[in-house]
């Protein structure tokens, strides 16, 4: 009897010693660094170096790594297909993406370098949904799914569809997933001017720490980024891992007997627009860590301390009055000179403009190409050329509300205010409560001195999209000109906190 029992125990322990633990299967990683976006003013400095550093670390940790740099849409699609093809039941699959990300329809999209984004629908066409990628990886049987996304950057596409929400959206990931963004939901950060990001620097430091579970690795990364940025950048984490997993193979053993020193209190960046800064009460001591969630439960790892209560918001503005038709005095000479032959020649070499011009050479009545080329011209400050394209686009389609709005905006910038007001009014007649046209007409009224009408338009736009920084900043300027100095300063302060470039943007429009 004792011999049989000993033999049985020997067999049990032998099987246990050779049985793979959860997360100990083959490890596969896809690492993407996208830097050279033609629509951006300059290549991003961080993504390529960050991707290479992450790829090297993952290789040391036993991952089979596929790295891609400056991938087009086709390149990203092929890279994802290669990853899907490698996955076997029980595998570990990790995605690292650094570049531009956009949220649309409450999903986060990773953007390839050749994306042609002019409206929100184009994001869904050209971008890659993080939720869909994680879902496909899950369907292939991966046991652990990890996504590390460093894409909470202000991107060059936002002005083209101003009803957007900045930053990234929460992800609904399958069980067994661990997702981390480099910044809080719906917030953006600026590159720090160096050739590597703060997020990746802290991430690699914690990955190299032995005896840490993956959740703890990412949580310590969040604390490190928050400390180093003085709470200006607070990464977001969501986990539904069912079992322990460690980046370092064999690192899923016992945790250290004594936990590391408790981090200082961290305040999460809230998703809604920030309010005027007020002295914050001293942060409370960090609470003890909460007990581990049930297996398979989807949880979002919160910051160690809750954010302080926000000061009371000002009462909602009353329903804006009906737009009063006004007679605008003859405009002053255009603020911007007509484009020179040199500037026109330089624009002709722009790859996007060159592609659209080729389409128009083949078909001069391609309304979509005319409209898009007009948008590119406007985004590069070539307003006269933009207006010509919008004129031809409207000749082909007199009910093109987007073209009316964009021509309104371009005419406003160069000072042709009477024509601009007619365009915005027509856009709003065709599509009442069109937020972009309300924002553009607010700028028309602001530049023409009709501050009450400007406030009414900006109020109406902000009721539809409270995070529309151009309307928030414009309303602040209008309120100050109308005598409401404290209220105007509050709007301006909030807009600058949401978008530090908004002051320069309005200066380029001739508004200071």
Domains of the chain plus CATH, in order, are: 19-271+289-301 (3.40.50.1460), 341-508 (1.25.40.10)
pLDDT digits (tens, 9 = 90+) for 218-272: 999 999 999 998 888 999 999 998 878 999 886 544 434 334 444 444 434 444 4
CA atoms within 13 Å, Cβ hemisphere of 367: 12
Instruction: Determine the pLDDT at residue 77.
Output: 96
127-141, 357-371, 372-386: which range is least confident on average? Answer: 372-386
Instruction: Determine the pLDDT at residue 1.
Output: 40
pLDDT surpassing 80 at residue 305: no
Nearby residues of 377 by Cβ (< 8 Å), 6 or more positions away: 347, 353, 383, 385, 386, 389
Instruction: Calculate what percentage of the chain has a pLDDT beyond 90.
Output: 46
113-122, 350-359, 440-449: which range is least confident on average? Answer: 350-359
Beta strand 92-98 with 27-33 is parallel
Exposed, middle or buried: residue 91 (CB in 10 Å: 0-12, 13-18, 19+)?
buried
Instruction: Determine the pLDDT at residue 319.
Output: 47
pLDDT surpassing 50 at residue 446: yes
Question: Which of 111, 181, 107, 174 has the alpha carbon at shortest distance from 145?
Answer: 174
Residue-averaged pLDDT of the chain: 79
* In contact, 301 and 238? CB cutoff 8 Å: yes
Instruction: Calculate what percentage of the chain has a pLDDT beyond 70.
Output: 74
Where does the pLDDT of residue 163 fall: very low under 50, low under 70, confident under 90, or very high at 90 and above?
A: low
* In contact, 348 and 357? CB cutoff 8 Å: yes
Max Cα-Cα span within the chain:
108
Instruction: Determine the pLDDT at residue 435.
Output: 84
- Token pair, residue 196, equals 């590597």
pLDDT digits (tens, 9 = 90+) for 68-96: 999 999 999 999 999 999 999 999 999 99
Instruction: Determine the pLDDT at residue 355.
Output: 79
Summarize the confidence of residues 431-458 as an average pLDDT: 92
* In contact, 390 and 373? CB cutoff 8 Å: no
pLDDT surpassing 80 at residue 499: no
pLDDT digits (tens, 9 = 90+) for 180-221: 999 988 888 876 667 889 999 999 999 988 888 999 999 999
- Token pair, residue 332, equals 């002053």
Where does the pLDDT of residue 149 fall: very low under 50, low under 70, confident under 90, or very high at 90 and above?
A: very high
Where does the pLDDT of residue 347 fall: very low under 50, low under 70, confident under 90, or very high at 90 and above?
A: confident
Where does the pLDDT of residue 18 fall: very low under 50, low under 70, confident under 90, or very high at 90 and above?
A: very low
Taking the C-alpha atoms of residue 367 and residue 454, their distance in angstroms, rounded to an integer, is: 31
Secondary structure (DSSP) of 239-255: E--SS---SSTT--SPP
Instruction: Determine the pLDDT at residue 333.
Output: 43
* In contact, 43 and 36? CB cutoff 8 Å: yes
The residue ranking higher by pLDDT, 257 or 366, is: 366
Instruction: Determine the pLDDT at residue 375.
Output: 80
Instruction: Determine the pLDDT at residue 130.
Output: 95
Instruction: Determine the pLDDT at residue 337.
Output: 43
* In contact, 374 and 389? CB cutoff 8 Å: yes
Tokens 């699959």 map to which residue?
93
Instruction: Determine the pLDDT at residue 508.
Output: 83
Instruction: Determine the pLDDT at residue 250.
Output: 67
């Amino acid at each position: 009897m004792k011999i049989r029992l000993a033999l049985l125990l020997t067999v049990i322990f032998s099987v246990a010693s050779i049985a793979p633990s959860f997360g100990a299967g083959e490890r596969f990683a896809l690492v993407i660094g996208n830097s050279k976006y033609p629509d951006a003013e300059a290549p991003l400095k961080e993504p390529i170096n960050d991707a290479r550093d992450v790829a090297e670390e993952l290789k040391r940790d036993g991952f089979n790594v596929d790295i891609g740099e400056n991938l087009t849409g086709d390149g990203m699609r092929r890279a994802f297909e290669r990853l899907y093809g490698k996955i076997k039941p029980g595998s570990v699959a990790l995605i690292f993406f650094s570049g531009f990300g956009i949220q649309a329809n409450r999903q986060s999209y990773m953007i390839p370098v050749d994306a042609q984004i002019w409206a929100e629908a184009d994001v869904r066409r050209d971008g890659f949904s993080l939720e869909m990628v994680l879902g496909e990886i899950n369907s292939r049987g991966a046991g652990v799914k990890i996504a590390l996304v460093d894409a909470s950057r202000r991107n060059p596409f936002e002005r083209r569809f101003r009803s957007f929400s900045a930053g990234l959206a929460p992800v609904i990931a399958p069980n067994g997933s661990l997702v981390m963004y480099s910044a809080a939901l719906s917030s953006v950060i600026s590159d720090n001017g160096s050739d590597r990001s703060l997020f990746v620097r802290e991430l690699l430091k914690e990955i190299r720490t032995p005896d840490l579970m993956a959740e703890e690795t990412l949580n310590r990364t969040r604390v490190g980024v928050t400390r180093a940025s003085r709470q200006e950048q607070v990464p977001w984490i969501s986990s539904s891992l069912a079992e322990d997993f460690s980046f370092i193979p064999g690192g899923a053993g016992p945790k250290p007997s004594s936990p590391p020193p408790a981090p200082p209190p961290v305040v999460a960046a809230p998703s809604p627009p920030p309010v005027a800064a007020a002295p914050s009460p001293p942060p409370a001591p960090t609470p003890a860590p909460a007990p581990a969630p049930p297996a398979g439960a989807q949880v979002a790892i919160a910051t160690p301390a809750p954010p302080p209560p926000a000061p009371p918001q000002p009462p909602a503005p009353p329903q804006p009055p009906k737009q009063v038709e006004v007679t605008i005095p003859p405009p002053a000479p255009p603020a911007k000179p007509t484009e020179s032959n040199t500037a026109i020649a330089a624009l002709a070499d722009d790859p996007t403009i060159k592609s659209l011009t080729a389409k128009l050479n083949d078909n001069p009545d391609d309304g979509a190409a005319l409209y898009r080329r007009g948008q590119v011209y406007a985004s590069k400050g070539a307003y006269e050329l933009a207006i010509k394209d919008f004129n031809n686009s409207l000749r082909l389609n007199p009910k093109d509300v987007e073209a009316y709005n964009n021509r309104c905006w371009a005419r406003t910038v160069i000072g042709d205010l009477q024509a601009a007001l007619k365009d915005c009014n027509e856009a709003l007649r065709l599509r009442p409560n069109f937020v972009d046209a309300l924002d553009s007409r607010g700028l028309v009224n602001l530049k023409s001195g009709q501050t009450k009408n400007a406030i009414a338009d900006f109020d109406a736009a902000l009721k539809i999209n409270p995070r529309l920084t151009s309307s928030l900043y414009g309303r602040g300027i209008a309120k100050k000109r109308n005598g409401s100095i404290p209220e105007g300063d509050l709007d301006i302060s909030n807009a600058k906190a949401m978008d530090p470039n908004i002051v320069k943007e309005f200066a380029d429009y001739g508004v200071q």
